[in-house]
Structure 1
């Protein structure tokens, strides 16, 4: 249990570190876009190598497919609700707009199952998956930096942004402990569905928010930074 708490906090800490960087100073728009593009590439790698592949190895496909559908619909529905809530409670010319809240929602919806998988691995005696831990870190940092910088530029107070990301990090860390506790009763299909859920939420978030925002802010170099992010995460996964 102690190991699950420790590694859960280590993995989730990247969200708070990224948020601190995001609110620390005003980031040039092109740099923010490049960070988002790098994060998008690393998340594509995480979907491919650390979630879908691992889930398919556990269950052969059905569990992952079901999880993908549920995760995609969960993010889509929650994002639409967030947009409607933001439009009704807008207090300034830009408050509630932009990709910042959507990226935070994506980090929340994919962070819980990702870290639950980390806890399941610990309980199963597999030890810490360095590849998964690295993928969580590499993807969380630019996701949190980009989201926090976007919300800061839209007029959100730095203290409110940090409270949001601390809350997300705490819930994600708790998911590692939850995964550890349910590992003995979780079937291979359920574990595969957890992987699929994270992958489905990530894919919708990437296409709806992260990639368009990265391309808009950084322009033609977005593709290069996306490739760099993918290559970095894929290397960490292959060598982990």
Structure 2
């Protein structure tokens, strides 16, 4: 279990690192958009090769399909709730959908790491690197948007520390659950992460990347996908 926690901390640390990079200096919109586009490509690769494909292989299509639906609906409803809270409070939700996406996909993604360790398969280096690489743009993009919206540096850092801790602890949760649950559980977890990711990508990450990076966003997204796919093959 200690090993699962250590790997969980390694994977989740890039969320806080991304926020620290945003706090350390002011990034231009074009740079942020480019980073988001690259990260979106890496996340699409993670959905295709590390979550949907692996979940289907180990548990079959039905648990993955159930997880996809639940994950997508969870992100959609949580985002709508954030928007309502923002309107009532007189503020916006700038940056919060990315933070929410990092939580809703990061927790099940890292639970998958714990499940792999508990099952004796070891750590998927491809999944570990994909999580680490794709977390950075989420942290940078969300923290930058939150700072521009007037949130204090302490609030921004505290938010991303909380998300990082929750994701790291999810690795232990996956490790423990794997001791008592069957392969169907892993498939649902994979599907949940994939569903939350896909809605976040379409609703938040890709539109923001295109708006800020301009015409190069598509090219950088494909580059991110290629890097993520290469890591999956190597893993």
Q: TM-score, normalised to structure 1's length?
A: 0.96
- Displaced runs of 4+ in structure 1, greater than 6 A? none
CA distance in 1, matches of 2:183, 2:190: 11
Matched with 2:201 is 206
Q: What do the CA deviations read for 1:198-219 (whole angstroms, capped 9, x no partner)? A: 0000000000000000000111
- Is the contact between residue 82 and residue 93 of structure 2 (CA under 8 Å) also seen in structure 1? no
Out of 153, 159, 164, which is 1:164 matched to?
A: 159
Indicate yes or no: 2:11 matched with 1:11: yes
Superimposed CA distance per residue, residues 111-148 of structure 1 (whole angstroms, 9 cap, x where no aligned partner) = 11000010011111111110110110111011111111
State the shift of 1:96 in Å: 2.4
In structure 2, C-alpha distance between the alignment counterparts of 1:48 and 1:88, rounded to whole Å:
38
**Aligned partners of 1:185 and 1:235: how far apart in 2?**
33
Once residues 152 and 41 of structure 1 are traced to their aligned partners in structure 2, the CA distance between those partners, rounded to angstroms, is 25
Deviations 1:10-43 (A, max 9, x none): 1110100011011211111111110110111011
Question: 1:190-229 to 2 correspondence within 5 Å?
Answer: 190-229=185-224
| Structure 2: gaps spanning 5 or more residues | none
Cα RMSD for the two superposed structures: 0.9
In the TM superposition, residue 97 of structure 1 has moved relative to its aligned partner by: 3.5
Alpha-carbon distance in 1 for matches of 2:25, 2:226: 28
Distance 1:10 1:67 in 2: 25
Q: Secondary structure at the match of 1:127?
A: coil
Aligned runs of 1:1-240 on 2, under 5 Å? Answer: 1-90=1-90, 95-98=91-94, 100-240=95-235
Unaligned runs of 5+ in 1: none
Query: In structure 2, what is the Cα distance between the partners aligned to 1:97 and 1:114?
Result: 24
Q: Deviations over 1:174-205 (max 9, x none)?
A: 10011111112121111101000000000000
TM-score by length of structure 2 reads 0.98
Query: When the two structures are aligned, how many residues end up with a matched partner?
Result: 235
Cα contact 2:97–2:204 (8 A) shared by 1: yes
